């Protein structure tokens, strides 16, 4: 026996809509999983590399003393004491830091097999993007300098040999993380925490403002610049010495959690997809 079912055009439309909805839902779910996975994995990798930096900076001076006895002075002063007594001039530390960061970014993007130049560069030369990447060090220093004036904290920029070696190591691994230079603070624990908190919040504000202006006025170079600042900020906000996040964390963990949450949300939402390949 054959049953003839009367199918109206409304049934066809409803069935088609349901199929389309399921298909869109599947695509959205799949893509959202991929985006979240890549984003959080990038954040985890960045955190692990920041931790690696702490370990390398702890063990490298010891290795230098073991394999390069000439570094030992007659009075047995350690490297930190030597650096305190002979501080690096700002012009030297800043110049070295800018060159190292620019070369590191250029090398990573140029050599990375998974980076598409057209998508990443957005019409700009790689040299221009490398300059933008290194300029984050200047922004970091200026923000920290003014925050230090407000909180009675002295600021010292240092680009040491171990920082340069570490930056070269990550460059060789085709991963760009701005780790060549450190900004050292001298003051009370509370004042250093306030100084670092002000600097982190200030850099976050600068990044968001540049990104908004670039988006509203269609200036992609400002958006790329904002992304570089945000990447730099994300790295230094971790609670690991000598990163700025450690000063805030050691004084008030609640402050650090709020600041880091804001930085993390901005990082997840604003970092361009092209940056994930070089992290």
27's tokens:
């695509």
pLDDT at 27 over 50: no
Dump pLDDT digits (tens) for 40-87.
Answer: 556 666 666 666 555 555 455 444 444 444 434 433 345 555 555 567
- In this prediction, residue 135 has a pLDDT band, given cuts at 50, 70 and 90, of very high
Q: Which of 88, 101, 159, 169 is nearest to 129 (CA)?
A: 101
State the Cα–Cα distance between residues 184 and 242, nearest whole angstrom.
Answer: 7
Query: Residue 266's Cα: distance from chain center in Å?
Result: 12
Contact assessment for residue 270 and residue 210, using Cβ atoms and an 8 Å cutoff: no
- Eight-state DSSP code of residue 71: G
Cβ within 8 Å of residue 142, ≥6 positions away: none
Provide the pairing of β-strand 182-186 with 154-158.
antiparallel
Average per-residue pLDDT in the chain? 78
State the Cα–Cα distance between residues 210 and 200, nearest whole angstrom.
Answer: 16
State the Cα–Cα distance between residues 125 and 185, nearest whole angstrom.
Answer: 36
Give the pLDDT of residue 124.
Answer: 83
**3 state DSSP class of 7:** coil
State the Cα–Cα distance between residues 230 and 212, nearest whole angstrom.
Answer: 13
Across the range 118-124, mean pLDDT stands at 71
- In this prediction, residue 88 has a pLDDT band, given cuts at 50, 70 and 90, of confident
- In this prediction, residue 156 has a pLDDT band, given cuts at 50, 70 and 90, of very high
Across the range 12-25, mean pLDDT stands at 45
Dump pLDDT digits (tens) for 218-270.
Answer: 899 999 999 999 999 999 998 888 889 999 999 999 999 999 999 999 998 88
pTM score, whole prediction: 0.73
Burial tier of 263 (Cβ tally within 10 Å: 0-12, 13-18, 19+): buried
């Amino acid at each position: 026996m054959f049953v003839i079912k009367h199918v109206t055009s409304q049934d066809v439309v409803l069935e088609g809509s349901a199929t389309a909805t399921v298909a869109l839902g599947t695509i959205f779910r799949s893509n959202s999983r991929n985006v979240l996975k890549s984003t959080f994995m990038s954040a985890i990798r960045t955190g692990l590399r920041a931790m690696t930096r702490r370990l390398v900076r702890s063990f490298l001076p010891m290795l230098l003393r073991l394999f390069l006895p000439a570094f030992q002075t007659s009075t047995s002063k350690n490297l930190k004491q030597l650096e305190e007594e002979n501080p690096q001039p700002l012009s030297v530390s800043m110049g070295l830091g800018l060159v190292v960061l620019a070369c590191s970014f250029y090398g990573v993007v140029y050599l990375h097999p998974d980076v598409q130049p057209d998508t990443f560069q957005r019409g700009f030369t790689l040299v221009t993007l490398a300059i933008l990447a290194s300029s984050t060090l200047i922004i970091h220093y200026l923000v920290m300098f003014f925050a230090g004036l407000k909180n009675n904290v002295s600021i010292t920029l240092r680009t040491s040999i171990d920082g340069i070696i570490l930056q070269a190591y990550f460059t060789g691994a085709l991963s760009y993380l701005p780790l060549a230079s450190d900004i050292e603070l001298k003051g009370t624990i509370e004042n250093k925490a306030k100084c670092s908190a002000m600097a982190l919040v200030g850099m976050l504000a600068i990044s968001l403002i540049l990104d908004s202006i670039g988006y509203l006025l269609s200036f992609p170079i400002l958006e790329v610049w904002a992304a570089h600042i945000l990447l730099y900020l994300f790295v230094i906000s971790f609670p690991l010495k000598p990163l700025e996040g450690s000063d805030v964390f050691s004084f008030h963990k609640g402050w650090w959690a709020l600041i880091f949450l804001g930085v993390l949300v901005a990082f997840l939402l604003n970092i361009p997809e092209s940056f994930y390949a070089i992290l």
